[in-house]
Amino acid sequence: MKKAKLRAIRKQKGYSQQQVADIIPTEVSNYSRKENGYIKITKNEWEKIALFFNVPVEEIYEADYTSHPSNEISGENMHTYISQLEKENIALLEKIEILKNIINH
């Protein structure tokens, strides 16, 4: 379930997904999936985000309904999600190689 309230307040306050991802902390692609409802936002993350936005958690919180069949990832959304994960994996592998090179020099 997309987090419309969270997205609206983030945009209203002029923050990017990257800035919010840094607060949680997580990769921006992972935060995007959270904001789009593909991944749950933990209670701790809701609290960090609310503190960052300087609003009560209740003002941005929207429940996850992942157990309801109509909200499960399927079809085209699944392919998009898998594609995003594959891109993130490639980027992470590249970062690992860079870090290995730094450590070995």
**CA atoms of 2 and 35, how far apart (whole Å):** 6
Six token digits for residue 14: 């002029």
Domain ranges of the chain: 1-72, 73-105
pLDDT at 1: 79
Proportion of the chain above pLDDT 90, given as a percent:
68
Reported pTM: 0.61
Six token digits for residue 56: 């009560």
**CA atoms of 89 and 70, how far apart (whole Å):** 28
Return the CATH superfamily for domain 1-72: lambda repressor-like DNA-binding domains (1.10.260.40)
What are 55-92's pLDDT values in tens digits?
A: 999 999 998 764 444 445 556 677 778 888 888 899 89
